[in-house]
Each structure stands twice: as C-alpha cells, then as structure tokens.
Amino acid sequence: MGTVNKILNLLGECFKVEEDKALHENKLFWVVVLVPLFFIVWISWRLTAELITKGLYNPHVSSESLASFVNYYAFPIALLTVPLTLAVMINRFHSSKQKAKSNRLVEQNNIANNFFNHYKYFVEHCEALKKRNPENYFNLSPELLYKSLFPSSSVSNFTTDLNSKFIKKISVQFNSIIKSYSAHIEKHEVSSITTACNVNDDHLAESIEVIHLNSTFYYLFYLDGFSYSSKLKKHDELKSSINSTFNFLYLIICFNGVSDYQKNIQSLEKLRMEVEQQIEELDVL
C-alpha cells in the first residue's frame, strides 16, 4: 500500500501544473514535450531501419528521395504537432492558474486593506469620543473594543457586521448591576428625605421625596474595551448612570463602519426600556 501511495504521489507531482514556478520548471511541461518526441524518434528509427533492410532508404537529396521521404515519414511528421499542441495547452493551464492566483492575491490584499482602514477609522471614532467627553468616569480601549464588536473580522475575513452577541453581553451586564444594587440597598437600606422646592413665582412649594443610600454604591459597567463607573449616593442616580451608559453605547455603535446599524440601535433601545422597567420594579423602600 505504501509503494502504491508513493507511485501515486510521484505521478501527481509529475502531472501537476505549479503556477508558482516558471513554465520550463514544471515537470509536466517536459513530460508532454519529451515523451511524444521520444515516441516519434522511436517510430522514425524503426521506420528507417526497416527501409535500410529493404534497400529502400536513399540518403541522397533528390526529387525522388524527397518524394519517398514524404511518403514514408508522413506519420512521424504529423505526430510532431502532438508535443507542440500539448505544450501550448500546458502553457494555457499555467497562465490560467497564475491569473487565478493573482486575482486571489489582489482580493486578499483588498480584504486586508479594508480591514486595516476599518480598524483605523474605528480608532479615530473612539478618539473623537474621548475628546468630546473628557470625563474620567468612562474608559475606552479601541483595540479591545474593536475585537469585541467585530470578533469575526480579520485581515483574511473582513466584515462590518456587529457581533450578534454584543447586545446580549450588554443585557447581562445591566442585569448584574441591578442585581448587585438590589442586594446593596437590601443590606444597607436607604433613607427617605422630603424636601420642599418652589414651583413658580408665587412661591408655591412642593415637597419632593429623595431617596438617599445609607452606603455609597459603586456602579461599574464593563465590556471588553469599554467601562463606565460612578458613585451612587441617591437612588435616582442609578437611572442617570444607566442612561449615561446607554448614551455612550449609542455613540460607540453610531460608527459609519457598522453595516447593521439600525438593527442594533433598535435592539439597544428595546433593552434600554427593559432595564428602565427593572429599575421601576425595584423595591427600594
């Protein structure tokens, strides 16, 4: 079995057109040229030997000898077109494979360029967000965030589709925050303070109930490449921090390089409403 495989591999090497090599360096090219030529030479030699044996061979150049030559050697002469035809065919196959490889390389190069340009524009987008929002309660890392948003994108497989699990990761983070917050206020409890404020110029006052946390809650939203943190001392600040987090997430997704922008914005808006509903349902007092 091993010998058979070796023979098959050897034949495969001989009958393979390698576009990475020059035409004259391909084994198949010399096979299709030399084998037919060897066969033609062998037939010509046998034919000449027979003519000499029968006394019909005439080496002198004359009209009679040329006529005899054409008559006897017509078949070997016709066979000379075989290696030429086969060589042209191999040349066409070789050129075709080289062209196909060239097209693949151009396509791969375009994919790589698109990937690096896309990444570059995303980094610039993140830097612009940092400049517009110099506050220190959020952090952006373009390298990690890009990989989180476009995990399947690479130099060999460029895509602008946002990670289908990105919204789910956001949902998991908010559920974890609300769960931690609920446990925090259950452990440390809250204080309700009623204050009065002016409603209009007639100095009519309205009492407002403000719920204070007895212990500061450290709010932290974290995804790979993005984090938002704040210290909460009032219950209303939870909703404010969550809204700020969502606003930053909107700005991150609001990137021209995202192909399914509307779909993800709708999913994010739906999640925002669900999170706000969870906050309303919290048993604070």
| pLDDT band with cut points at 50, 70 and 90 for residue 123 | very high
The residues spanned by each domain of the chain are 2-108, 133-280
Q: Please report which confidence band the pLDDT of residue 124 belongs to, taking 50, 70 and 90 as the band edges.
A: very high
Residue 1 has a pLDDT of 60
Phi, psi for residue 209 in degrees, rounded to 5: -90, 120
What lies within 8 Å, CB to CB, of 44 at 6+ separation is 73, 76
Q: Which range, of 65-74, 167-176, 232-241, averages the lowest pLDDT?
A: 65-74
Quote the pLDDT of residue 72: 84
3-state secondary structure of 276: helix
Please name which of 151, 284, 145 lies closest in space to residue 228, comparing C-alpha atoms.
145
Contact (Cβ atoms closer than 8 angstroms) between residue 139 and residue 227: yes
**CA angle (132, 136, 141) in 5-degree steps:** 75
pLDDT for the residue numbered 53: 86
Q: What is the pLDDT of residue 4?
A: 62
- Give residue-wise pLDDT tens across range 21-41: 888 888 888 888 999 999 999
Full-model pTM: 0.70
- When pLDDT is averaged across residues 89-103 and rounded to a whole number, the result is 91
Q: Give the whole-number percent of the chain exceeding pLDDT 90.
A: 46
pLDDT of residue 7: 66
| Amino acid residing at 49 | A
Across 166-179, average pLDDT: 94
In the chain, the amino acid numbered 110 is N
203-228: pLDDT as tens digits = 555 556 678 888 999 999 999 999 99
